[in-house]
Amino acid sequence: MHTTSVWRLAAFLAVTTMLGIGLHASDRSAAPFQPLNSPATKQHLPGKFVWADLFTTNPVAATKFYSGLFGWTANTITQNGKAYTVFSNGSRPVAGLAPRSSMSTNRPSRWIAYIAVSDVASTLKLVTHAGGQVRAGARDFPERGVQAIIADNEGSTIGLLQSSSGDSADDEPKPGDWNWFELFVKQPQVVSAFYRQVINYEIAPDLRTERKNDFVLSSGGLARAGVAPLPDREDAKPGWLGVVRVESIDETLMRAVKLGGEVLVAPRAAAFESRFAIIADSTGGTLGLVEYVNNANPAQRP
Which DSSP string do the residues of 1-60 spell out, in sequence order?
-------PPPS----PPP------TT--B------SSSS------TT-EEEEEEEES-HH
β-bridge partners, 148: 160
Residue 77 lies in a domain: yes
Mean pLDDT across the chain: 85
Say whether both 139 and 188 belong to one domain.
no
Residue 36 lies in a domain: no
Q: How far apart are alpha carbons 179 and 173 in whole angstroms?
A: 6
Beta strands in 102-235 (DSSP E): 110-116, 133-141, 145-151, 157-163, 178-185, 202-205, 215-219, 222-229
Residue 169 lies in a domain: no
Residue 8 has pLDDT above 70, yes or no: no
Residue 168 has pLDDT above 50, yes or no: yes
Q: What percent of the chain has pLDDT over 70?
A: 83
pLDDT tens-digit readout, 201-216:
999 998 766 677 899 9
Residue 37 lies in a domain: no
Boundary residue ending a domain (130, 163, 196): 163
Say whether both 109 and 208 belong to one domain.
no
Q: How far apart are alpha carbons 23 and 84 in whole angstroms?
A: 13
pLDDT tens-digit readout, 41-52:
888 999 999 999
Res 270: pLDDT: 83
Res 32: pLDDT: 56
Res 40: pLDDT: 86
**CB contact set of 279 (below 8 Å; sequence gap of 6+):** 253, 256, 261, 262, 263, 264, 286, 287, 288, 289
Q: Are strands 157-163 and 110-116 parallel, antiparallel or unpaired?
A: parallel
Q: How far apart are alpha carbons 73 and 282 in whole angstroms?
A: 17
List the domain range (segments joined by +) for residue 100: 49-163
Reduced to 3 states (helix: H, G, I; strand: E, B; else coil), residue 99 is: strand
Res 176: pLDDT: 97
Radius of gyration over every alpha carbon of the chain, rounded to an integer in angstroms: 18
pLDDT tens-digit readout, 262-299:
999 999 988 778 999 999 999 999 999 999 987 655 55
CA 75 to chain CA centroid, nearest Å: 20
Q: What is the CATH number of the domain that holds 239?
A: 3.10.180.10
Domains of the chain: total: 2
Say whether both 85 and 198 belong to one domain.
no
**pLDDT, greater one: 11 or 81:** 81
